[in-house]
């Protein structure tokens, strides 16, 4: 923890980035390179790459928020391959047969996903298969995926998802990867998920607060223009766990002990660079945060009020963003109207 605050002081920069994000359609299917890869990429091309850091992140839902992250259990994916003709065609018959048999392995999963994404780069016939299945999904619902009662119950609702992805990016093979290979998280406001460096993910629908390690490195693979170099690096480096528990990426939360009035929730990320606070104040309510031993940034998401830090008082309203230096007590007070105030604060210590 000392390393993070010293980095902020010595380099004059925060160890994290903090922003709001609104996904009206699927955002790129991507990874952020792990530290070793980021350092290698930067060393090879320092003029075109922004930095040499990794970028683990969290998304904290402001609205109902849908996100794809990591992979479903291998047996669930295999069941989808068995039932969905178009998926077997996209994979290739031999690849599909090999995928269905033998030991579960990360190499097998990475190979299947990589070949689908590579076909999406330049295979027009494969794109037509996406469009064809999307039409079937809209006409037949989940029956188009072989779902019938308990048969295929893990894929219930995925016909709608596949159709939505094709509406967003017609013919993009990322629809096959996201729908049939990846976990789909449906978060309610106040819930959060984390994605480790090199973790495959795509935000799908809704609004969130996003916080991540301080880096702009990204490798995209679908739902945007893709360079072959980026796709090659993506395919070699994305994490491919074969037995991801359904809730593995959910971020635990509980009351913030240094919030004196009990109006603050702390989200415990699995990363060194940052944690997140959510402050919810009713009209005229106050919350005092005892000093945090690292830098922090807060965003007012709704309502109005004020914050006092030492001798300084700042008026607050939706959209205000401010920095609080390390070691400072902060007193947040909502105005006496009907809306109260909602604030998100990201910090490192």
In the numeric block, the tokens 């709608």 are attached to 160
Q: What is the pLDDT of residues 123-162, one digit of tens each?
A: 999 999 999 999 999 999 999 999 988 888 899 999 999 9
**Two tokens, residue 239:** 């994490």
Q: What is the pLDDT of residues 249-289, one digit of tens each?
A: 999 999 999 999 999 999 999 888 899 999 999 999 999 99
pLDDT at 243 over 90: no
- Please state the rounded mean pLDDT for residues 154-175: 97
Q: What is the pLDDT of residues 193-231, one digit of tens each?
A: 999 999 999 999 999 999 999 888 899 999 999 999 899
CATH topology of 14-237 equal to that of 253-347?
Answer: yes
Architecture (CATH level 2) of domain 14-237: Sandwich (2.60)
Number of alpha carbons in the 13 Å side-chain half-sphere of residue 135:
7
Class for domain 253-347, per CATH?
mainly beta
Instruction: Show contacts of 36-43: CB within 8 Å, 24+ apart.
Output: 37/198, 37/233, 37/237, 38/215, 38/217, 41/217, 41/233
pLDDT at 48 over 80: no
Name the average pLDDT for the chain. Answer: 91
High-pLDDT (> 70) share of the chain, %: 96
Q: Can you give the pLDDT at residue 12? A: 62
Q: What span, in angstroms and rounded, lies between the C-alpha atoms of 78 and 100?
A: 6
Q: Can you give the pLDDT at residue 8? A: 44
**For the whole model, what pTM was predicted?**
0.91
Q: Are 294 and 326 in contact (CB under 8 A)?
A: yes
Q: What span, in angstroms and rounded, lies between the C-alpha atoms of 269 and 68?
A: 18
What is the residue extent of each domain of the chain? 14-237, 253-347
Confidence of residue 62 (pLDDT cuts 50, 70, 90): very high
**Between 4 and 337, residue with greater pLDDT:** 337
What residues have CB less than 8 Å from 303, skipping those under 6 apart? 281, 317, 318, 334, 335, 337, 339, 340, 341, 342
- Please state the rounded mean pLDDT for residues 165-169: 98
């Amino acid at each position: 923890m000392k390393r993070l605050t010293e980095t902020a002081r010595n380099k004059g920069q925060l160890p994290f980035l903090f922003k709001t994000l609104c996904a009206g359609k699927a955002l790129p299917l991507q990874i952020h390179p792990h530290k070793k890869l980021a350092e290698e990429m930067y060393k090879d091309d320092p003029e075109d790459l922004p930095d040499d850091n990794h970028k683990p992140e969290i998304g904290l839902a402001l609205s109902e928020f849908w996100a794809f992250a990591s992979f479903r259990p291998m047996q669930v994916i295999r069941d989808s391959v068995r039932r969905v003709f178009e998926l077997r065609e996209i994979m290739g018959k031999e690849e599909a047969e090999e995928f269905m048999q033998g030991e579960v392995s990360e190499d097998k999963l990475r190979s299947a996903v990589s070949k689908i994404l590579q076909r999406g780069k330049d295979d027009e016939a494969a794109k037509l298969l996406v469009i064809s299945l999307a039409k079937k999904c809209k006409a037949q619902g989940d029956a188009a995926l072989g779902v019938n009662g308990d048969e295929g119950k893990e894929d219930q609702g995925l016909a709608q998802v596949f159709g939505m992805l094709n509406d967003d990016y017609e013919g993009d093979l990322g629809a096959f990867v996201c729908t049939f290979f990846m976990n789909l998280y449906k978060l309610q406001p106040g819930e959060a998920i984390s994605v480790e460096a090199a973790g495959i993910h795509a935000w799908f629908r809704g609004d969130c607060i996003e916080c991540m390690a301080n880096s702009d490195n990204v490798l995209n693979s679908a739902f945007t223009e893709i360079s072959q170099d980026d796709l090659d690096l993506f395919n070699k480096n994305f994490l491919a766990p074969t037995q991801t528990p359904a809730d593995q990426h959910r971020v635990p939360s509980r009351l913030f002990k240094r919030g004196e009035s009990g109006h603050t929730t702390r989200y415990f990320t699995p990363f060194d660079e940052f944690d997140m606070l959510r402050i919810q104040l009713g009209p005229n309510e106050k919350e005092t945060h005892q000093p945090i031993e690292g830098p922090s940034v807060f965003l007012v998401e709704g309502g109005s009020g004020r914050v006092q830090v030492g001798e300084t008082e700042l008026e607050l309203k939706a959209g205000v963003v401010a920095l609080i230096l390390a070691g400072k007590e902060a007193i947040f007070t909502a105005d006496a109207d009907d809306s109260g105030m909602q604030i998100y604060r990201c910090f490192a210590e």
